[in-house]
Structure 1
């Protein structure tokens, strides 16, 4: 059976810096394409899928700077690439861009059959198609420029909700989304200060203590990792 191909902007090995898997050695697969339009996004180079930016995996992997270039790969070929690069991490983080623009069932099922664990980082604005074993991190994007609505099925699939915050309105938005979930389906809640601003961090810490939620800091940025 032919596997669905993926448009990949970047592949690298590092430590997961956010959420429940903080500190875990991970292989990051960054997919190209995202129409959501978050103003604070730190990967805007992944937004557009321009045909003139299609390149080879060799050229993309050789880059050491942010680029809108991408390459097409099947899940099986992606694992060949991991071997070529000598990666040893056994946790795969599929991010973007918006990874759920793609059908990720082939990739995640193959990963688990090969002994990997998988995680998807998504905005929750697209249907999540993946293995039932995949850890799903939903970072809700509400009232963004792209005009996409949060999907209730994405919230129900979430193992953790990692919500970017800077002010009370962000908590109000999160509370509104949480009303869509039954009491027996409550994911872990992480608050992540937007752009690591001190004011946003202080607000997130205070709210986490008040609500018995968890704090997610982008620890990879603090220690200088990709």
Structure 2
């Protein structure tokens, strides 16, 4: 890449708007021809969630007051938006929400091997498209193997918890700086944009930053 735009994205792998927002940004980068360098950072939507997770509809009802009708409508909207961006949301009534602390540890481990972005993309797909349990060490190790990393080493790393405190520190870094919701997208380490803003908005931001770099 030639002087790409540096983009930090604070997100969770079970956050649908994080998946949408990234794909909108990627679309904007392609459409404008502007290179971006993406770095992912951990955020847990449900840090206190039980090991075995919760039914997604029940979880949304308890946390946000979402009605069954509202849940169906939201899922349909996300599915349509995802399809337009080339991402598949494969929702089901029995789908579960999971604790993602181990998933973030896997991404952090993959980042050290130059595969953090691939790990993030694979985990978005594992959860939303394939409905896999992204809290399960076996599943996470399999995903690591699928992106070309050592599956056995991934399993051992997750089982040992060796990345736990490092990831906790990274989570605190962003929450201490006011990040309370995701996606939180930081361009060039100084311009914070929250939420999935749409490809057109991201394209405008990239164009402005490119012009500023050239000035």
Give yes or no for TM over 0.5.
Answer: no
TM-score by length of 1: 0.26
**Per residue, is there more strand in 1 or in 2?**
1
